[in-house]
Chain A
Amino acid sequence: MHYIFDFSWIWDYGPVILKGLFVTVELTLVGAVAGVSLGILCAWIRTLGPEMLRPPVAAYVELIRNTPFMIQLFFIFFGLPSVGVQLSELQAANLAMIINLGAYSCEIIRAGIEATPKGQFEAGAALALRPLQTFRLVILVPALQRIWPALSSQIVIVMLGSAVVSQIAAEDVTFAANFIQSRTFRAFEAYMLSTAIYLLFAIALRQLLNQLGRWIFPKVAAR
């Protein structure tokens, strides 16, 4: 093996890489916040919500969990325009990530809700809370607390999965690496750099989510 590594291009492409990192971070943040919100809504429907809505939500969750993220993304970006829904690459990437995480987090959060002792529901009823109030004030937070580690892992998995959005020309970290390798022909170095960026971001994100969990659910730390 006679290969000389060459990272001298790195200074010329700093802005491209930073822009890519910014897009990946933005996609992750929007995807995480909106995706988990969607997941909470779907989990509520599947456990306590109106019976009528349960089958369609179950179908949505199963459909998303059993198809690749890339195909969901392609369907949204390439397929939807033919029925009149035209999205920019960033909008399509955001939407795909929200829909994807929504389905996975629904299953995770549902497990948390189902593990709630029955007495909690009865306690809510005994305090004359309406079902929705019981859910919001009594059930939801301990349920989220229970499944926070699993939810954190899923958010990191979705972030790593976002590398695929470069395939619809959303300008994320992977897109930057593709761009650099097409200009410099230093493919291996470019992907090594982008891999390192993802690894560091994954570690940072996991730390952040741990801290966030400690901040949202302070009682766990005290116990």
Chain B
Amino acid sequence: MSDFTTWDILRNLLLATRWTLVLSLISFLGGGILGLAILFLRIGKSPVGRYFARGYVELLQGTPLLMQLFLAFFGLGLFGIDVPAWLAAGAALICWTAAFLVEIWRGCVESIPKGQWEAGQSLALNHVQQMRLIILPQALRIAIPPTAGFSVQVIKGTALTSIIGFVELSKAGTIVTNATFQPFVVYGFVALIYFAVCFPLSKFSKHLERRAAAAYATR
């Protein structure tokens, strides 16, 4: 039996961290695109679209991410596809991320004073133009700090994909534990690696928030 040094443990965990980062990035970008599409339905003119978007958000924010992962894993299988873990993990995380981003961004759009819409209207801009030229550029600035903050939730969310068999940092932690019988050290390292990734992002988001608040205070 081979012996594991502390460095061996850490090296294996760091190698697996790559997959945590890749999955986080895919989920965040994919979730952002899907979220934007649903946001347009949520604040759009069609009642059916609004109803759908509200239901989507309620459903995905009201159920555990773990259940969504299971349903994606076994549900996609019903279509006769052999579902690899990364596909189910990516699909579920994208849908989950989108549901939260829609709500965050909706708050930002709704915080833009109504007069801005009316100003656009008085310039004979149509709904899409008002959105694109007047509302979104302003909403975007407000949206950056909470969006950056939510990216931390996405990274932490990827830990659950280990349960459906995607090998990332958490799964590597379990595998290494099973090989070394040192759960205290291994899970301690896993936690520290997550912390090292998430903490700077949290701080960055706080910093952006403070800067935005200061900008509003001086106006």
Contacts and interface: CB of A to CB of B under 8 A. Distances in A.
A194 B152 CA distance: 27
Contacts of A177: 70
A174 B159 contact: no
A78 B177 contact: yes
Contacts, number: 115
A66 B198 contact: yes
A8 interface: no
B62 A199 contact: yes
Contacts of A83: 184
With most chain B CB atoms within 10 A of its CB, the pick from A68, A78, A181 is: A68
A7 B180 CA distance: 42
A186 to B, nearest CB: 9
A3 interface: yes
B156 interface: yes
A161 interface: yes
Interface residues of A, number: 40
Question: Is the contact region of chain B dominated by helix, strand, or loop, or is it mixed?
Answer: helix
B117 interface: no
Interface stretch (B32-40, B132-140, B186-194): B186-194
Contacts of A72: 191
21 contacts: A1-B78, A3-B78, A62-B199, A66-B156, A67-B194, A67-B195, A68-B157, A71-B170, A71-B173, A75-B191, A78-B187, A79-B187, A81-B183, A156-B62, A162-B64, A167-B163, A187-B70, A188-B71, A188-B78, A192-B71, A199-B63
Given A74-B173, A164-B66, 17 more contacts: A66-B195, A67-B156, A71-B173, A71-B190, A80-B184, A160-B64, A161-B64, A163-B66, A163-B67, A164-B160, A177-B70, A181-B74, A187-B70, A187-B74, A195-B71, A199-B59, A199-B62
